[in-house]
Amino acid sequence: MSQIAQPQGLGTVVFTTAADDYPAPSNRAPKFFGDNRAARRVVDRLTYGFTRYEMDLLRYKGLEGYIRYHLNPAGIDDSALDAYIAANYPALVMTPQVLSTQQSGDLFNQMVRSRLMRAVFSRRQLFERLVECWTDHFNIWIRDNPPSFLKVADDRDVIRASALGTFPTLLRASAHSPAMLTSLNNDTNTAAAPNENYARELMELHSLSVTGGYSQSDVQQVARCFTGWTYISAAGATQWQFRFNSGVHATGSKTVLGQVIPYQSGASGQQEGETVLNILADHPSTRSFVAYKLLRFFHSHTPAQSDIDAVAQIYASTGGDIKAMLDHVLHKAVALAAPPKFKRPMHLLASTLRALSAKVVFPNNLQNPLAAAGHTPFDWQAPDGYPDSLQAWSALLLARWNFGSSLMNNEYGNPTSNPPTNVSALYTDTVGDAVTAAAVVDAIDAAAFQHTMPKAERDALLAYLTPASNPGSTKIREAMGMAVAMPSFQWY
């Protein structure tokens, strides 16, 4: 099967992450000599979970080559997925004006499903992980109104467009995003009675951090600087695009973090907000906070201060170059000695589908387990983004245990258009013609875990698969579901 195939009678694109469906690495001489565990750690830290293909890439590119490969996503051919996304999620390329005419539930579904498909099937895996990191950092609740449609543009024009540039560029792009401005009420921030919502979260969540050294007065002054930052409300092709409305801009000079920002009249008034963004982007607290966020996402739930300082130093010396900071973080994160991180539910779902080389026929119902675990993309209401801590995600284990169970019970398959179902192909690809319990567990360990499953978990599956001589397909399916519910698969 090629990487995209038309299954019988469905006309639906099937995607798989199976290694033999991907182009072979150009240079076949191995350059990475770590064992399976070491290789899995490297791949797990750069992607949404190891696949046979990514493991091969690492072996033939070597550690440095593999990191460089993923740090330059523009050089990775992702045209197959791009075509699928374009064909199935047309809203993603619409202008804000056209988006405003669309049904919000449909936009929500297109955003969530495309996010999930990209996480599972994009070959620009590190880029997609980074997108998730910044999506949380600049969180916008998609079900807010109007961000339901503006978030589609924000995701494309802010987060994805600037994810791998510099942090100051990303910060500025977000500040000019109508989705951000409306969700934090800056569209109604006017001289008469400034609205502090955006000003506060800009400093607390996007740049300085809550301990970054600003006062209530700074919040009020920043709010005054941003009076008039809104969107075009007049009907037409440019409706819902950024606009500075000088008519409601606060007069008088402002003092932000001890720095006087002189009043500028007319259209130049926008420069006051731009100055604030420059001050924040260059602030030591911002450097540390961004360093902390990157380390927390890619390296450890609880980054060490010395690591934060090192990454902040790279921010200072490179003007906030995300690629440079990430390069440093990844080199720390891929070490076997780095502390493991607990997968968030979407990560668990994506990594399961990747490990099992799932052929996704019908992604729509894959939203269900994300909702059941409380981790639907773009659906965190508060502006701080989904939490990324062990404490937050380790209490609701049941959703994790159920995911594999429901997947292998075909609860996420296409309810109307079988065959082929997700599960039968997934089952066949993983287990092949294994019959005995021992052969089945070997097959699951090999195909889905790249021979990294802990012995205790193998033994637990063996004990479940009775009679050992021929446990039968129902129990084998259940064991596959159990395998991804086991503790070792919750960490990366």
Instruction: Note the residues at the interface with other proteins (CB under 8 A).
Output: 184-185, 188-197, 200, 204, 210, 216, 219, 342, 372-375, 381-382, 384, 387, 390-399, 401-402, 405-406, 408-409, 411, 456-457, 460-461, 463-464, 474-475, 478, 481-482, 485-487, 490
Q: Which is nearer to other proteins, 268 or 394 (CB)?
A: 394
Nearer to other proteins, 190 or 300 (CB): 190
Residue closer to other proteins by CB (options 322, 373) is 373
Q: HEC profile for 23-81?
A: CCCCCCCCCCCCCHHHHHHHHHHHCCCCCHHHHHHHHHHHHHHHHHHHHCHHHCCCHHH
Q: How far is the CB of 210 from other proteins (least distance, A)?
A: 5
Cβ at position 28, least distance to other proteins in Å: 38
The smaller minimum CB distance to other proteins, of residues 170 and 465, is found at 465
Q: How far is the CB of 412 from other proteins (least distance, A)?
A: 11
Report the amino acid identity of residue 232: I
The half-sphere exposure of 350 on its side-chain side, counting CA atoms within 13 A, is 29
Measured distance CA(179)–CA(175) in Å, rounded: 9
- Closest to 56 measured CA to CA, from 80, 16, 24: 24
Q: Are 423 and 352 in contact (CB under 8 A)?
A: no
Shortest CB 379 distance to other proteins, Å: 11
Asked whether the CA dihedral 347, 348, 354, 358 is positive or negative, the reply is negative
Q: Least distance in Å: CB of 190 to other proteins?
A: 5
**Rounded distance, CA 363 to CA 359, Å?**
10
Query: Residue 382 CB, nearest distance to other proteins (Å)?
Result: 7
* Min separation Cβ 151 and other proteins, Å: 17
- Cis bond before residue 467 (omega within 30° of 0): yes
CB of 249 to other proteins, least distance (A): 13
- CA-angle at 486, arms to 352 and 121, nearest 5°: 5
| CA-atom Rg of the chain in angstroms | 24
The smaller minimum CB distance to other proteins, of residues 399 and 426, is found at: 399
**What secondary structure does DSSP assign to 399-463, as a single string?**
HHHHHHHHHHTTTTS-SSS-SS-HHHHHHHHHHTT--SHHHHHHHHHHHHHTT---HHHHHHHHH
Measured from the CB atom, the residue of 98 and 460 that comes closer to other proteins is 460
Give min distance, CB of 433 to other proteins, in A.
Answer: 24
- 3-state secondary structure labels for all residues of 327-345: HHHHHHHCCCCCCCCECCH
* Smaller CB separation from other proteins, 166 or 490: 490
Judged on CB neighbours under 10 Å (0-12, 13-18, 19+), 411 is: middle
Q: What is the dihedral of CA 243, 245, 249, 255, to 10 degrees?
A: 20
Nearer to other proteins, 237 or 398 (CB): 398
Distance of closest approach, residue 192 Cβ to other proteins, in angstroms: 4
Which of the 8 DSSP states describes residue 265? -
Nearest to other proteins of 214, 315 (CB atom): 214
Q: Which amino acid is at 207?
A: S
Specify the residue, 154 or 478, whose C-beta has the smaller distance to other proteins. Answer: 478
Residue 178 CB, nearest approach to other proteins (Å): 15
SS3 227: coil
CA nearest 492: which of 34, 38, 131, 45?
Answer: 45
Closest CB to other proteins among residues 439, 460: 460
